[in-house]
Amino acid sequence: MEAETSPHPNSSVHLSPLPRFPVQPLKGRREPGNIGIICALLPLAAPLITPVRPGPGRVAGVFTGNTMISSLELFAGAGGLALGMHRAGFRPVALLERDKDSCETLRTNLAAFGGGPDSPKVIQADVRDVDYSEFAGRVRFVTGGPPCQPFSLGGRHRGRDDGRDMFPEAVRAIRELRPLGFLFENVKGLLRESFAPYFGYVLLQLSCPDVPPREGEAWEDHLRRLEKRRASRTGTDLDYDVAFRQVNAADYGVPQTRHRVAIVGFRTDLGAKFSFPMPTCSKEALIRAKGEGSYWKEHGLPVPRRGKHGPSPAGLAGTAPAGRWRTVRDAITGLPDSCSGNANGIANHEPRGEARAYRGHSGSVMDEPSKALKAGVHGVPGGENSVETADGGLRYYTAREGARIQTFPDEYTFSGSWSENMRQIGNAVPVLLATALGVSAAQCLREADTYHGWRQRGYPATLQPAGQGQPSKKPGQRAHARGTSAHAPGTNPRRGCLRHFL
């Protein structure tokens, strides 16, 4: 896979170089779970954003240039989403988080966000008490992971009746900040059939954030008002095109099977064309690497007999991504045994000892992606966040091993006890997954920026692919036959093109 070295000096050697994630069109794909139910319940909900593939002259990857998009992170936790978005071209001006230990973790790792005067401001506060006027005109994009306990498969499943449901606060932030776009992450339990009506309601609120609920108004009544507004949108209101998709972090280079729902929205007046990133890794490629022996040779291990680690690679579909899923062994290779003296000086790598498996709660396998790291309401569930040992036993991950599985760099340290560390790590968005989503969002804004830049200058934007510069023909003249031309030296058609939207 083609890759580009991360532009940030604090990137860890243990975190893969920033990949150029290809773009996957939405056409012809159906979401897993209950998306069909949700769409059927909400015929007036925001349509999926128009898909687009990179055309001639367009790079499916990170920003070209030095300008970064200012952003604000809600429910920042330990900073996984913020760090991944930063590596994709976003500069968080502030990180909002209520938890004391998580805020200490964020403050300890400000160097990972560039350091110096451009470092984000860490604000320890309940988002319900935040006044966003401080950030008016300074924020172009909003990100965050609203607390997932109301919708988690391992939680109490109370949804909208749970006081920890922070989606209303996410909507308020969008209403008051009026950003160009947003990206929110949540658990796959959000797509449960029992939550389908309320999830559709959340999507409509994000689509029409300037239609807030009235005091004492039932959510069903508010939903009807939102549907009417959506049907009669005038183009002058604050509206967003919203899309969502369930993604598996393992498909983007994370050594963990972690299914999450990503919700992305862009202002309708931008005419943005967003597509979710295509997977870059696959289970099929891992099976092939094991069957052919390359995986075992890579780790200096003897090739086991066929049948112990999956089927023969012969006959596997050739359409899967070439990159293989990463495994627990891939993630923790290079770390010394936490019980040895060599582990001294490695942050968050203290041993935790043996673990016990329980029904429904067992450890991960060394040569497969890790099971999803968890952070329960009352701490780490018994048997979870553990891995099988060579002698058939079970031990807990160290916090550093958990951080690697979530693709945090080794320089990124966590504050608090082991249980607190694992809670922060288990709640985090994997850095590489956040980077993949951020790259697609940044590309979308770049293309919208270029389009409106050409329109403002009087040129037919559809004739000019992004990154080509100023057309050689003046407005009104016939364009070149192929629709492209060289740009004038020193011109930058992107600069200031979105100013009239802010």
Nearest to 375 by CA among 343, 413, 411, 416: 416
Contacts of 59 (CB under 8 A, 6+ apart): 20, 467
Would you say 435 and 80 are in contact if contact means Cβ atoms under 8 Å apart? no
What are the catalytic residues? 148
Structure-block tokens of residue 7: 């532009």
For residue 344, give both structure tokens.
Answer: 């001294």
Alpha helices in 307-354 (DSSP H): 328-332
Q: Please check whether residue 72 is in contact with residue 86, taking contact to mean a CB–CB distance below 8 angstroms.
A: no
Question: What is the CA angle 485-490-495, rounded to 5?
Answer: 90
In whole angstroms, what is the distance from residue 13 CA to residue 35 CA? 39
Residues 6+ apart with CB under 8 A from 258: 248, 249, 250, 372, 373, 430, 433
Q: What is the DSSP letter of 415?
A: -
Q: What is the DSSP string of 181-208?
A: EEEEEEEGGGG-GGGHHHHHHHHHHHHS
For residue 379, what is the DSSP state? Answer: B
Neighbouring residues of 313: CB distance < 8 A, sequence distance ≥ 6: 287, 288, 290, 291, 292
CA 322, 328, 330 angle in degrees (round to 5)? 55
The number of CA neighbours under 13 Å toward the Cβ of 500 is 9
Cβ contacts of 40 within 8 Å, gap of 6 or more: none
First to last CA, the chain: 37
Of 17, 22, 18, 48, the C-alpha closest to 279 is 22
